[in-house]
Structure 1
């Protein structure tokens, strides 16, 4: 668990994948990235797709929705190295709440590995009582994908939730202390989520910082639709967040749930590793 003032942050079991390391690090040579994030014999790196559960006195919030359950074909499971699908409902039992108690879902973007968990295999909304937030650009592209993005924007991930979605343009404060900011880069509508309470700060940079190994602004994935936008956003935001002592919270990193970064060395100042957490 990570405490950010009045906010309590936990990872939920949203699925496990094995993605190609070359795709995850783009033009960075394998000899460099493999030192920071070792691959298996198939050149795949382990990644989680674990939603971030934020509990406050008045809200139960999920940031990004996991891989879902029963949404992938056997071929897709093989291609994405999916060894475990979402089990969010079981994860929430440790907090004595259920899916219907989630009242806010914050979507950094709507790629399938973040959005499959929003709907059931038959197209029904999973989080029936939640308002779902994403950027207007992302919502538009999800519903009208181009020849490249249609591989990751799936109709079955939005058809059942259209009545629940609220969008914004540049930034939006979801509740006091939690703000979404549009960055673009990984997708046209990609956003980061900032949390601030009682002088403590955290940020979920989603897929412009999918793992700690991507801390170098030039290290972006081959999945980024607008890599220069990712680089520009990372360079600008990392300088601010590190200087202001933010916690960085991860959705994909298989090793780290949250870290604080030393401003001088760019090394880890404080770390909450996934191995140290009990993920149900």
Structure 2
């Protein structure tokens, strides 16, 4: 039996214009509210999948590893490590995780691997019993980032993951030896080279964690991309292919950054051809069907 639960991590407030790329505010302000600094609320959501007596965590959010100065710069709201609190609410700790899947290694998706900031002390790698799984090509990118996205990576985290002896890199088109053939991975290059999208089946259709390929419901609209995306035109094609599959297979997407919608199925309007979210669920929902 397989169940999944969405878990909240530390939230952020980031510039709305950066999150919606070249789309004008007159358009994207229909979907989200801004504060006095033009920032929008964002979740950093993880997904817990429980199966075969093992706990599999997809992403860890931004966590609390930043110093107070850096938290302010990147709009991190809470001081404590919220993902650890979310795990505690369902009777688990980071030590109970058997596998942690990382779609990519940008700090707002992998920072939760690290312990909370303490003055004068280096952050430690959490999840001591987990195998860490990420994409082979993206690992190479993280080791040698482009100047445009260099600030998105956490240099000390890469060393800690490598030193753990529990890092597993998945190549395009291959399965994870740890997870087995029941887990599939799509790969995407539009947001960052080698982004890895985990996919698994439920009785009523597949579930995909698209990470920053489709970070929330507004980004289901094909032309909408983020200013952080490396190759927006490539991303739009990758997004369309995924959405078409979700419509055809009655699949669900788990949104990592949407402040209100955690999980949704995808529909497509027959007349306009536009994609829509449907059957939406909010945070901390559990499903086994």
Assess if the C-alpha contact under 8 Å between 2:205 and 2:249 holds in 1: no
Assess if the C-alpha contact under 8 Å between 1:177 and 1:197 holds in 2: no
1:41-92: CA deviation from partner (whole Å, max 9, x where unpaired): 21111001121111113220111111122x2122321222111253233322
Corresponding residue of 1:226: 231
The alignment of Structure 1 onto Structure 2 pairs a total of residues equal to 271
Corresponding residue of 1:94: 89
1:187 to 1:268, Cα distance in 2 relative to 1, 3 A = closer
Gaps of 5+ in 2: none
1:62 to 30, 49, 57: 57
2:66 to 53, 61, 72: 72
Question: Which of structure 1's runs of 4+ aligned residues deviate more than 4 A?
Answer: none
Corresponding residue of 1:141: 141
1:99-151: CA deviation from partner (whole Å, max 9, x where unpaired): 11101111111001011111235243211111111111111121222212210
Corresponding residue of 1:158: 158
Gaps of 5+ in 1: 1-5
Corresponding residue of 1:205: 210
Q: CA deviation at 1:97?
A: 2.6
Assess if the C-alpha contact under 8 Å between 2:243 and 2:266 holds in 1: no
Corresponding residue of 2:183: 178
Give TM-score, length-normalised by structure 1.
Answer: 0.90
Corresponding residue of 1:18: 13
* Larger deviation, residues 25-34 vs 178-187: 178-187
The whole-number CA distance in structure 2 between the counterparts of 1:141 and 1:115 is 15
Aligned: 1:188 with 2:182: no
Q: SS of the residue aligned with 1:271?
A: strand
Q: CA deviation at 1:165?
A: 1.2
* Larger deviation, residues 210-219 vs 194-203: 194-203
Give TM-score, length-normalised by structure 2.
Answer: 0.87
Assess if the C-alpha contact under 8 Å between 1:135 and 1:169 holds in 2: yes
CA RMSD of aligned residues (A): 1.9
